[in-house]
Structure 1
Amino acid sequence: MNGRAVFKAVGPIGDTDVDALPVKHVEPAVGFYTRCLGFTVVSKDATTARLRRDDVTIGLAVNGHDPEQASCWFSVSDVDALWREYDEHGVGPGVIDEQTYDGSPYRVFFAREPYGVCFCFTQPLDREGIA
């Protein structure tokens, strides 16, 4: 696929709350999520923010939880395009790999934001391994 990756879904890994991803300070985190990850601000106050990219909405919160213990996954339309975008924005995406989850194949890569939250970006493949 060519072009821009579209975000289709988000979900937690473990007990992470995707509506309250932990951050130490809202303002610098919002800056990173908008400038580097491509989200837009839906709402923001001193301790929380709601962000959107395509069909996905997430929340950031100063909630006392450790960002390095939080992680979530995003389903996207084009893992390769997103990897290139994030590489250009200095996100430092990991290697794209093929993995199986619940019997279904996916192309995936991982990235960590500077405050500690880990992301898994996935693109489902058909049974023949075609995106």
Structure 2
Amino acid sequence: MSNQPKFEATFPFQEDVLALPVVDLDTTSSWYAQAFGMVEVERKDQPNPTVILERDDVTIGFSINGRDASQDGAAILVSNIQGIKSELEAKGVEIGNWRVDERDGRRFQVFFVVAPDGLCYCFNEPI
């Protein structure tokens, strides 16, 4: 069994993990490719300009939809959270709040990233 750092699933804070609000698709695609190791897999113009990125078969979409990025983001369930944290730090991504949270009687190692676009991500792994 591999202990490779891996994105397992995503869960939106607001409405849709495939339509997180941004203002520039090219800048967004470039930053998430560099910082999160994601690959652009699709672009579409309707109903709003949108770019879809993927890593480890997990997709996140970014859309020019007029919503407030500072009020949105996603929880990203990962395997090998220490490896993910080290990977992001090596790419210059600022990590915040490395801690253990408890939800529904389960413990999770978590950390947060606020991307330049204002979106917030809660990386988490069950302990």
What is the TM-score of this pair, normalised by structure 2?
0.90
Alpha carbons of 1:100 and 1:87: their partners in 2 closer, same or farther (altered >3 Å)? same
Match of 2:84 in 1: 82
Match of 1:54 in 2: 56
Provide the aligned C-alpha RMSD in A. 1.5
Measured in 2, the distance between the counterparts of 1:92 and 1:77 equals 19
1:42-65 C-alpha deviation (Å, 9 max, x unpaired): 112462111111031111100001
Measured in 2, the distance between the counterparts of 1:71 and 1:52 equals 16
The offset of 1:3, in angstroms, is 5.5
1:69-125 C-alpha deviation (Å, 9 max, x unpaired): 112101100111111111111110114211111111100000011010000000111
Measured in 2, the distance between the counterparts of 1:105 and 1:94 equals 18
Whether the aligned pair in 2 keeps the contact of 1:16 and 1:71 (CA below 8 Å) is no
Q: Does 1:9 align with 2:9?
A: yes
Match of 2:70 in 1: 68
Q: 1:104 aligns with which of 82, 86, 106?
A: 106
The offset of 1:31, in angstroms, is 0.3
Secondary structure of the structure 1 residue equivalent to 2:109: strand
Measured in 2, the distance between the counterparts of 1:64 and 1:107 equals 33
Whether the aligned pair in 2 keeps the contact of 1:16 and 1:72 (CA below 8 Å) is no
Query: After the TM superposition, which residues 15-30 of structure 1 pair with which residues of structure 2 at under 5 Å, given as runs?
Result: 15-30=14-29
Q: Please list every run of 5 or more consecutive structure 1 residues that lacks an aligned counterpart in the other structure.
A: 126-131
Secondary structure of the structure 2 residue equivalent to 1:36: helix
Alignment size in residue pairs? 123
What is the TM-score of this pair, normalised by structure 1?
0.88
The offset of 1:12, in angstroms, is 1.4
- Paired residue type of 1:19: L
Alpha carbons of 1:88 and 1:3: their partners in 2 closer, same or farther (altered >3 Å)? farther
Secondary structure of the structure 2 residue equivalent to 1:63: coil
Q: Please list every run of 5 or more consecutive structure 2 residues that lacks an aligned counterpart in the other structure.
A: none
